[in-house]
Structure 1
Amino acid sequence: HLLLLTLSFSVSAQISQFKATFIKAQQENKQVTVILTNGNTYVGSIISVEEESAGVETKDGVFNFRYDRIKNVKIYNPDDKSTGWRDNPSKNKLFITQTGKMLDKGSGYYQNTFIFFSNFSYGITNGISVDAGFSMFPGLGIENQMFTAGAKIGTSLNSTLYVSGNIKYYRVFDIDEGITSLFGSITYSKSQLDLTASTGVGFADNSSSNALLILGGQYRISERFAFLSENIIFPSGDAGSDALLSFGGRIIGSKSAFDLGFFGIEEILFPFVSYTIKF
């Protein structure tokens, strides 16, 4: 009963905040950006503010938005065009690894990498998400494919700092002993720039690896495109280290994202291709 009461209070507080934003925009004769739970984004002027919904006149016509169908609403700033941009479906990850940001409650995505690798992620709450993945190599039986399962918890410390912890299990092909990884991430987010630092270790056969360090970032230059970099620094022999460096871009759709980049280590360079669709 306490959990239901807490959830009910949280939803009620959020709806009150949405309504207050609509009222403020109407009083100040300003436009708003409305992001719905299905990912669609609208910019327009306030026509009416009712108990359960608000009327907004957009370039596509007048819409009556129910508060319980709204993910976020903010006052549109004409001097900052990014306030009218659609949400980034892949805001919680770089090319491969996770950032400090979380999936929203009830949202998820399917990611396909190199055709042969599939992964599903889902936000149970705003602070907890789960994921599972598998490979699909032709000619190999199901017992020789790779399987993964993981969970992630996180929160925002303030409007610019996000932290998360991630645990993931890997069953690699026909190897009996699986691998488990533990990672922690912190992301600094300001305007359209996200900078992420992560560290983690792997466990297998009752032993652990030395810690990896991941440094990455995402810079969104327009509504539909962002530059992306993910750099993995891992220990090597004689107290040295090697680095897997990457750079590329992300094409952002209303419910999808297409990543294209290149990873390089020493003199070896190989492409990275991935497609993400939100559900």
Structure 2
Amino acid sequence: MKKLHLFFFVLSISFVSLYAQNNTEETAIYYVTLKDKTHYLGTIESESTNYIVLYNASTGTRTEIPINQIQEKKIIPTKAIKNNEYWFENPNATRYLFGPSAFNLKKGEGYYQNTMLLLNSFNVGITDYFSIGGGIEFLSTFITLSQGNFNPIIYFTPKVGFSVADNIHVGGGVLLASIPQFGETSNTGLGMLYGLGTYGNLDHNVTATIGWGSVDGNSFNKPLITVSGMTRVAKKTALVTENWLIPTDSSYEPIFSYGVRFFGENIAVDLAFINNWDIAQSLLIGVPYVNFVVKF
């Protein structure tokens, strides 16, 4: 009798699970992109070998879409829909203007970043919690090549990042750089070990970072501190700020920045200004800063 009860219990659980799965599939919200780049949003009401019928509950419309015209069809989370529009994921949430957040690239994700047409870097997610990046600077490349030697500024940036609670991520990383001393045979070595914490989600967040650096093996006597933030104000627009406290012999030198980020699903462009008290004396709004990222 006990075995019989166990059999019916397992059977009932199976039916409940199957019903929940089917119900989820039926109510899943799809974002459909056609070959002509037209987009549709809704649940699939019916599907045949030639057509799907998409129902948009917000507008009450039904659209018959030829299957051979569909370029992409994907399920999207309900929270990604705002005012009957699909807000795709922020493509550059792992970084502010230059410094990182504690969010990490997912395994297999990556991006190319160009800063002021000079700094060129790549970052790739090795796991969901660990990424490796590095880059090269163009101006030093051309100068050293003109001197008959390939010795550009290069840098290496491994990082870890993971979630410890809702809206709380922590991480850390290393910045290693080699900087040529023009006219000399030796390079200057720069190293930094840092930890950081991010509060918020991919669209609205703030990050505090503390780092210990050294130049040619001589350590700074105080840590470098940064506070950065980002807030998404529209589907394709965010405000970004990144602010540094750079240690000096006696105190700290502040540098602050403010800008706008424009982005699509796989590209982001930052237009910003870098400023401090000294810069503001000559250029009130600060020094222009331009940076773009292509995600792959």
- The answer to whether structure 1 residue 278 and structure 2 residue 280 are counterparts is no
Change (3 A) 1:165 1:277: same
- The answer to whether structure 1 residue 173 and structure 2 residue 177 are counterparts is no
Measured in 2, the distance between the counterparts of 1:128 and 1:20 equals 34
Counterparts of 1:230-269 in structure 2, within 5 Å, are 230-238=242-250, 240-268=251-279, 269=286
Q: Quote the offset at 1:154 in angstroms.
A: 1.2
Instruction: Choose which of 189, 192, 199 in structure 1 pairs with 2:200.
Output: 189
Kept after mapping to 2: 8 A contact 1:32/1:46: yes
Change (3 A) 1:108 1:131: same
Kept after mapping to 1: 8 A contact 2:46/2:54: no
Identity in percent: 26
Q: Which one has the largest radius of gyration?
A: 2
Output the TM-score relative to the length of structure 1: 0.75
Q: Name the counterpart of 2:159.
A: 152
Q: Name the counterpart of 2:77.
A: 74
Q: Which runs of 5+ in 2 are unaligned?
A: 1-18, 33-38, 56-62, 280-285
Measured in 1, the distance between the counterparts of 2:29 and 2:196 equals 36
Instruction: Choose which of 213, 217, 221 in structure 2 pairs with 1:202.
Output: 213
Change (3 A) 1:156 1:146: same
Measured in 2, the distance between the counterparts of 1:259 and 1:123 equals 22
Kept after mapping to 2: 8 A contact 1:82/1:223: no
Q: Which runs of 4+ in 1 moved over 6 A?
A: 19-22
**Aligned-residue CA RMSD (Å):** 3.2
Instruction: Choose which of 140, 149, 157 in structure 1 pairs with 2:144.
Output: 140
Kept after mapping to 1: 8 A contact 2:80/2:88: no
SS in 2 for 1:196: strand
Kept after mapping to 2: 8 A contact 1:76/1:83: no
Change (3 A) 1:191 1:113: closer
Q: Quote the offset at 1:135 in angstroms.
A: 0.8
Measured in 1, the distance between the counterparts of 2:84 and 2:232 equals 9
SS in 1 for 2:111: strand
Q: Name the counterpart of 2:94.
A: 92
Output the TM-score relative to the length of structure 2: 0.71
Kept after mapping to 2: 8 A contact 1:197/1:215: yes
* CA shift digits 1:239-263 (9 cap, x unpaired): x222100000100112100001000
Measured in 2, the distance between the counterparts of 1:151 and 1:56 equals 47
Q: Name the counterpart of 1:10.
A: none
Query: Quick one: which amino acid aligns to residue 271 of structure 1?
Result: P
Query: Quick one: which amino acid aligns to residue 194 of structure 1?
Result: N
Measured in 1, the distance between the counterparts of 2:64 and 2:267 equals 22
Q: Quote the offset at 1:190 in angstroms.
A: 4.3
Q: Name the counterpart of 2:113.
A: 111
Kept after mapping to 1: 8 A contact 2:113/2:291: yes
* CA shift digits 1:182-241 (9 cap, x unpaired): 111111114831111111011233321120111010010111100000000122343x22
